[in-house]
Amino acid sequence: MATGERTRDPEFLGQAFQDLVESQEEFSIKVEGAKTLPYTAVLVASAPGTRTLLVKVFRPFPPALAAGAWFDLVFSARGKRYEGRIALVGREGYLQYGFEWPASLLSSDRRVWKRYPFRPRENVFVTAQDNEVPCHGLTGALTNLSLGGFLFRVDRMVRLDDGLPVRPWGNAFAQGKVLSMVKIHGLAKSGILESRGLTVRVQEADSMVHLAVQFQGLGEASRLLLSTVLEARERKPGTTGSFTASLVRGDSGDLELAGAEATGPVPGAEPAADLERAGAEPLRRLDRRAARILVVAAEGEDQAAIVSHLQASGFWRVEAAPELFAGHASIKASTDAPFRLLVVDLEPSRREGLEAVGAVRHLEPLLRVFGDLPVAFSTRQPDPMLELLDQPGRAAVAQEDPDPARCQRELDRLLSI
C-alpha cells in the first residue's frame, strides 16, 4: 500500500493484526478527541470470525469510559505504519479490553508515538552502555522523549575497560545496536528511568552525533514514571523539566493518571512499608553517626569539602588520610572500631584531564589491599559515567549533587544501613 492509501480488505486487516500478535510490538491507542496521553498497548489476539481484537494496556481505562467509545489506533506492521478507528467492546480481564476491528486502515508515515522536546537547560541527560567488547559508556543531553523511545545528543563516549575517551562518530552506532543499560536522569527529583535500548537511527551533523533509541524491556516502575512525565507535558505544554519534575514529585494536584481511581492509594493513607521505614529511621540515623569512615583526599580544600559533605549527610565519624598508602597504614594501626567505608577523592585526576572512569581503573589495583572494604568515589559534580561501573561494594557520590539525598542513599547501601 502506498502512503495515504486506505484499504477495507478483510484479508489484509487480518494478516496485519496477526503480524502484530506474533511480534508483540507495542503500539498506541488514544480516546478519540481526548487531550490525554495515548495508552501503550500490545495485541493479545485477533478473531477474524467476529472481527474483534483483544488488547492489553499498561494502565487501566477510566471506569466512566463506556462501551462504544472510539479510539484512534496507530501501529507498525510489514515495515509501514497504519492508522484506524476502533470501538471499545468492553473489559475482558485485568488490563485487557475487547475492541471491534476498524472499518479500514490508512497507510501513514505518521509517527507511532508523539515526541516531547527537551531543552539543554532542563538538565535531563542520558547514560547508556553497549554490550560490545570493549564495552563503551555514552552520556549526553536528552533531546526528545516519547512512550516508545528517545533521542539524545552523544556528548561523551568512554571505553569502560580502561576509561579512555573515544570520539563519538556515526559509524560506531549501527542500526539495531543493543544498549544493555539505559538511564535517563532528571525527569523527577529522585527517580531514574531505567531500561534497555535498541538503536534505530543515527544523525550526524556539525560534528555532533544524535542517537535515536527504542525502549526495550521497560519495567513497570519506569513505565509509570515515563507515563507520568509525558502526561504532565501533555497537559502543561512548554513547561520545563524542573516544572515537570515538580509534578512527578506530587507538588501539584493537577496531575492524575487515567484510571487512578481504580489503582491509586487511598488519600491520607500511608503504605505499611513507609510506616516501617519511618519507625526504623532513628536507628538508621544512629548507625550513620556510628559508622567509621576513612576519607582519602589531599589535605586542604578538597579534603575539608568531602568531610563536611559527609557530616552534613549524617555521617559523623569521619577521619582523613592524604593518600591511599597512608590510609592503609591508618587502618592497620587502628585499635578502635573497624572502618566500614573508604571514600576516595577523584578530583585531582579530573583536574589533570583524566576521565573519572579512567581514574577508577587506575586506582583499582591499589584498592585491592583494602580487601572487601566498600569504596565510594567522590567528585565535586556528578559524573553519570561512574554509574556504569556496576560493581558490588562500589558507589559514586558528588558534593554538588542536584539530589542532595543521593549521597545518603548510596552510602546507606554500601554500609547496609
Q: What percent of the chain has pLDDT over 70?
A: 86
248 pLDDT more than 90: no
Query: Quick one: average pLDDT of 108-116?
Result: 71
Lowest mean pLDDT among 3-7, 46-50, 214-218, 267-271: 267-271
pLDDT tens-place string over residues 92-106: 999 999 999 999 998
Q: Give the cell for residue 206.
A: 556539525
Fold adopted by 116-222: Thrombin, subunit H (2.40.10)
Query: Quick one: average pLDDT of 47-62?
Result: 93
Q: Quickly state the pLDDT bin for 259 (edges 50, 70, 90).
A: very low
Q: Quickly state the pLDDT bin for 308 (edges 50, 70, 90).
A: very high
pLDDT tens-place string over residues 171-201: 778 878 889 889 998 887 667 899 999 888 8
At residue 247, the pLDDT reads: 44
The CATH class, in words, for 6-108 is mainly beta
User: Is residue 122 within 8 Å of 242, Cβ to Cβ?
Assistant: yes
At residue 263, the pLDDT reads: 38
355 vs 360: CA distance, rounded Å: 9
Q: Quickly state the pLDDT bin for 262 (edges 50, 70, 90).
A: very low
Query: SS3 sequence, the chain?
Result: CCCCCEECCHHHHHHHHHHHHHHCCCEEEEECCCCCCCEEEEEEEEECCCCEEEEEECCCCCCCCCCCCEEEEEEEECCEEEEEEEEEEEEEECCEEEEECCCCEEEECCCCCCCEECCHHHCCEEEEEECCCCCEEEEEEEEEECCCEEEEECCEEEECCCCCECCCCHHHCCCCCEEEEEEEECCCCCCCEEEEEEEEEEEEECCEEEEEEEEECCCHHHHHHHHHHHHHHHHCCCCCHHHHHHHHCCCCCCCCCCCHHHHCCCCCCCCHHHHHHHHHHHHHHHHHHHCCEEEECCCCHHHHHHHHHHHHCCCCCEEEECCHHHHHHHHHHCCCCCCCEEEEECHHHHHCCCCHHHHHHHHHHHHHHHCCCCEEEEECCCCHHHHHCCCCCEEEEECCCCCCCHHHHHHHHHHCC
Q: What is the location of CATH 2.40.10.220 in the chain? A: 116-222
Lowest mean pLDDT among 11-20, 67-76, 166-175, 393-402: 166-175
User: Is residue 358 within 8 Å of 371, Cβ to Cβ?
Assistant: no
Q: What is the location of CATH 2.30.110.10 in the chain? A: 6-108
Q: Quickly state the pLDDT bin for 339 (edges 50, 70, 90).
A: very high
At residue 272, the pLDDT reads: 55
Mean pLDDT of the chain: 83
At residue 110, the pLDDT reads: 56
At residue 236, the pLDDT reads: 66
Q: Quickly state the pLDDT bin for 79 (edges 50, 70, 90).
A: low
Q: Quickly state the pLDDT bin for 277 (edges 50, 70, 90).
A: low
At residue 245, the pLDDT reads: 47
294 pLDDT more than 90: yes
266 pLDDT more than 70: no
At residue 269, the pLDDT reads: 44
Other beta carbons less than 10 A from residue 74's beta carbon: 20
Least Cα distance to 179 among 154, 204, 203 occurs for 154
At residue 126, the pLDDT reads: 93
Query: Quick one: average pLDDT of 362-373?
Result: 90
pTM score: 0.62
Fold adopted by 273-415: Rossmann fold (3.40.50)
Beta bridge partners of 149: 214
Q: What is the location of CATH 3.40.50.2300 in the chain? A: 273-415
306 pLDDT more than 90: yes
Query: Quick one: average pLDDT of 356-370?
Result: 89
Q: What percent of the chain has pLDDT over 90?
A: 35
